[in-house]
Amino acid sequence: VEFLYCDLASMKSIRQFVQQFRAKNCPLHVLVNNAGVMLVPERKTEDGFEEHFGLNYLGHFLLTNLLLDTLKQSGTHSHNARIITVSSATHYVGKLHLNDLQSRCSYSPHGAYAQSKLALVLFTYRLQHLLTANGSHVTANVVDPGVVNTELYKHVFWVVKVVKWMTAWLFFKTPEEGASTTIYAAVSPEVEGAGGCYLYNEERTKSADIAYDEELQRRLWTESCKMVGISDEASRLP
């Protein structure tokens, strides 16, 4: 196991990481996008992005796009390279505000978190559409890990923390259990060649209706490219 440093809240750090990784000339068969914050107070990343949107979504958007060429070169007809992005059931109540992705007009920790998780689902579906259109041997799926007992809840109200402490053993998954669907998406033969799926408890299920809006997927992709400073070559594809 070898570790390379990458701060998903920093576009500069992401670019430096990709440069270091490419210098190793290694294949890339599985990319898991799993960094995130939840319900943090209003604050910005070093690039000026609202933290939920900047870290949870834009960081993964840029990282994935910068690694796409390597992923395409690593995948084969019989063994596709795989991109797994971790979202949340919170995306079902999320609303994407294309005119205010940074939540400047009215900030809500819950709203900003839900928006970032919905964006990840929209991104995954658009990415799979583009990969298929290009004939790439790469699949992109999105995972809902469930309610997992981790430090992600450190910013919730103290009453919720007490309830969590009292009931986690009964209602929350362990980190190992929470990781099971991500591992399933990464290595299971059952999903070989299958992309554009929303997976929960190692099964394909339906995401929020809005996530299937192809026009919204396209608009978010184009705006995301502008925000992170990469070329939107995908805009020329159907």
Task: Report the catalytic residues.
Answer: 113
* CB distance 71 to 83 below 8 Å: yes
Strand (E) positions, the chain? 30-33, 81-86, 138-144, 198-200, 203-205
In the block, tokens 């059931």 appear at 89
Rounded-to-integer distance, Cα 76 and Cα 54, Å: 32
Task: State in Å, rounded, how far the first CA of the chain is from the last one.
Answer: 40
Rounded-to-integer distance, Cα 96 and Cα 102, Å: 10
